[in-house]
Structure 1
Amino acid sequence: MRRCVLGPLAVVIAVVGVAGCGSSESGSSGTSSSGGSGTTTVKVGVIPIVDVAPLYLGQQKGFFDRRGIKLEMVSAQGGAAIIPGVVSGQFQFGFSNTTSLMIAQSKGVPVKSVVNGAASNGEIGADVTAVVVKKDSPIKSAKDLAGRTVAVNTLQNIGDTTVRESVRRAGGDPSKVKFVEIAFDQMPAAVDGGRVDAAWMGEPAQTIAKAQGARVVASPFAETDPDLTVATYFTSTRLTQQNPGLVKKFTEAMTESLRYASDHPDEARQILTTYTKIDGDVLKNLILPNWPARIDMASLKKLASLSEGDGLFGDKKPDLDALFS
């Protein structure tokens, strides 16, 4: 399964494709439909991964229902569909990693983060993403990744930026790492078969690879910042202006969901079986992210600085205060 990421070119092409679309599809309220008793159906663009467990758990617990919101989760084929889907009104809200949102905003895409989504758990060696190598690999640390081929699920995004930071911190030359793009679910086989020297894996790929004997040599999120805000839920700036009440209710319900998931990790783990195919030992052993209610701005400033150094933003830097505050 793919983490919700998209490269800068994908963002620009996709959003240009919807930029000329009018707002008639979503109506002036920005909501997809309304039912009786003041209930509003809200579509949320997601990719079915571990990170969005609080959203499904909050739906199950009634946190959205009691605020008059009927959730409809729409699984996108890839992250590139979510940002333009929100901008065009296909979805009222979406889930995206923070680098993708920064890239989009730096290109003039009218998006606004409204509530936290997921964060690093801060545990080096046991974080939600890891650089993994074969058991008998000569690679012993992130420093050894210099001159090697490392798989990421999307090029020029949060994966290669944070992997470079791990290499840098370990004393290696991040410019000498060669990145190739491979889907998360194909990474365990790619590492085991020697197609790549290492792979930056999310869950459940990381747990699957370790069960096959693979070793973790770096934890890029935790090594970049132990409190790194990895992803958030966002909407269009148009919806924040046209229906601020809905945005407020969604934010409150999602905040309650994040807190509940943080306090009840076993329930968060179990909810995965309702929207993914994860089960058995993988479900039992996979690593969960942190789900803090608050966005960590200091970590995002660091991520933005690293992304800028990697050339992800072009001529214009993202306005982090406008995007995330």
Structure 2
Amino acid sequence: MDGVADDGRSADHPPMRLKAAAAAFALLVITAGCSKDEPRTAPATPDTVTYATGFGAVGRDAFIWVARDKGYFAAAGIEVDIQKGAGNVPNLTMLKSNQAQFAAMDFAGAELLAGQGKFTDWRAVAAVHQQTLVSIMTTADTGITKPTDLTGKTVATAKGSVSEVLFPAYAKLAGVDPSTVKIQGTQTTALNGLMAQRQVDAISTFLLSRKALETASKKQVVVLPYREYLKNLYGNVIVTQAGLIGSDRDLVQRFTTAALKGLRYTLDHPQEAAEILNRAEPTAAIPAAVGEIEAMKPFVEPLGRLDEKRVADSLTELGVTGLTPSSVADLSFCPGPPTAGCS
């Protein structure tokens, strides 16, 4: 991997763990949420890592700010610099260049990129969304109520996004010839405005944006979820560098456990989580963040769980060959039965 040492870290960066001899014996004992009976020790001097959100600062990513604000990372001996991500390719690029050690991203999109050989030195360690939340959304006045109604229509989506990449597979399974649908690439922030002004017939984006589209359009919104046909795909996942798993597995475990504690707290306290996000990132409107968190709730259990068979099935469903579940995920950070969560 270009610019990355054998252990998966940038050759231009010093190791993240700072060692202080004077405090070498001052250890804080914490309990890992994925292995409740196994005590772990946090370093006396915190590990410093950078995390890239899935996209910007929105409700679906609030849990990482919550985990930091509530002290979960501090208790695990970790200091986290949270950077606003910009989607799969930018986030994977940050991991490859060691500008970030952890990131959130859409699992299906990352699997497709790995299948193309573009980014391979990463592994998913926990699920945020148990199903893909990519959907077609339109307003009720368009008359679009089922996938076949998209024939001859224009669908706007973020250019190069997983929504765009997955559309052909979704369309074929839904009985639609993808060549009969015009896909209009645009900026993510422009999607709701285009739909509200009826400049397009539908948009393809994340289900969690439904409330925002209802607000922008002041109309009833019709949702056609990709998951109705692409049944084995996960949504967002937490990923890390493959090399970091090899060189500091304990750090990855501590980070994953703390992040999932933040996710659990966020789901249980949406209003407080949105307020924490807003304090850190004032552009993140509290009502919109609450709406996204509430919309996430049906899709996160079992919390954090990645199942080997489902990962294998997702690769098959995406038409990715030459990869196995271990090529894209490390399931050891959340052991146990598939129906059990990690916290």
- Taking structure 1 as the reference length, the TM-score comes to 0.76
Matches within 5 A, 1:1-325: 19-20=2-3, 23-27=10-14, 29=15, 31=16, 37-46=44-53, 47=55, 48-106=57-115, 107=117, 109-120=120-131, 129-155=134-160, 158-160=162-164, 162-164=166-168, 167-168=171-172, 170-202=174-206, 205-211=209-215, 212=217, 213-221=219-227, 224-225=230-231, 228-274=233-279, 275=281, 277-279=283-285, 281-286=287-292, 287-289=294-296, 290-291=299-300, 292-308=303-319, 316-324=321-329, 325=331
Q: Is the 8 A contact 1:184 1:205 kept in 2?
A: no
Q: Percent identity?
A: 19
| Separation in 2, partners of 1:49, 1:280 | 9
- Are residues 33 and 230 of structure 1, via their aligned partners in 2, closer, same or farther at CA, if it must alter by over 3 Å? farther
| Separation in 1, partners of 2:225, 2:171 | 10
Aligned residues: 292
Instruction: Specify the SS of the correspondent of 1:224.
Output: coil
Q: Is the 8 A contact 1:49 1:276 kept in 2?
A: no
Q: Is the 8 A contact 2:135 2:204 kept in 1?
A: yes
Where in structure 1 are there 5+ consecutive unaligned residues?
1-17, 122-127
**Rg bigger for which structure?**
2
| Stretch moving more, 95-104 or 229-238 | 95-104
CA shift, 1:66, in A, is 0.6
| Stretch moving more, 36-45 or 158-167 | 158-167
- Are residues 105 and 168 of structure 1, via their aligned partners in 2, closer, same or farther at CA, if it must alter by over 3 Å? closer
Where in structure 2 are there 5+ consecutive unaligned residues?
24-43, 332-343
| Separation in 2, partners of 1:276, 1:230 | 26
Give, as a single letter, the amino acid of the residue that structure 1 aligns with 2:186. Answer: I
CA shift, 1:281, in A, is 4.7
Q: Is the 8 A contact 2:152 2:182 kept in 1?
A: yes
CA shift, 1:19, in A, is 1.8
Q: Deviations over 1:72-114 (max 9, x none)?
A: 1122455432212112222121211112321343316211222
Q: Is the 8 A contact 1:152 1:159 kept in 2?
A: yes
Q: Deviations over 1:126-164 (max 9, x none)?
A: xx5532223421322222112322122143x53145545
Q: Is the 8 A contact 1:42 1:69 kept in 2?
A: yes
- Taking structure 2 as the reference length, the TM-score comes to 0.73
Q: Is the 8 A contact 1:204 1:282 kept in 2?
A: no
| Separation in 2, partners of 1:276, 1:176 | 42
Q: Is the 8 A contact 1:152 1:160 kept in 2?
A: yes
Q: Is the 8 A contact 1:25 1:89 kept in 2?
A: no
- Are residues 103 and 173 of structure 1, via their aligned partners in 2, closer, same or farther at CA, if it must alter by over 3 Å? closer
- Are residues 153 and 40 of structure 1, via their aligned partners in 2, closer, same or farther at CA, if it must alter by over 3 Å? same
- Are residues 44 and 182 of structure 1, via their aligned partners in 2, closer, same or farther at CA, if it must alter by over 3 Å? same
Give, as a single letter, the amino acid of the residue that structure 1 aligns with 2:212. Answer: I
Give, as a single letter, the amino acid of the residue that structure 2 aligns with 1:196. Answer: V
| Separation in 2, partners of 1:79, 1:301 | 20
* RMSD of equivalent CA atoms: 3.0
| Separation in 1, partners of 2:223, 2:233 | 19
Instruction: Specify the SS of the correspondent of 1:139.
Output: coil
Q: Is the 8 A contact 1:188 1:206 kept in 2?
A: no
Q: Is the 8 A contact 2:134 2:204 kept in 1?
A: yes
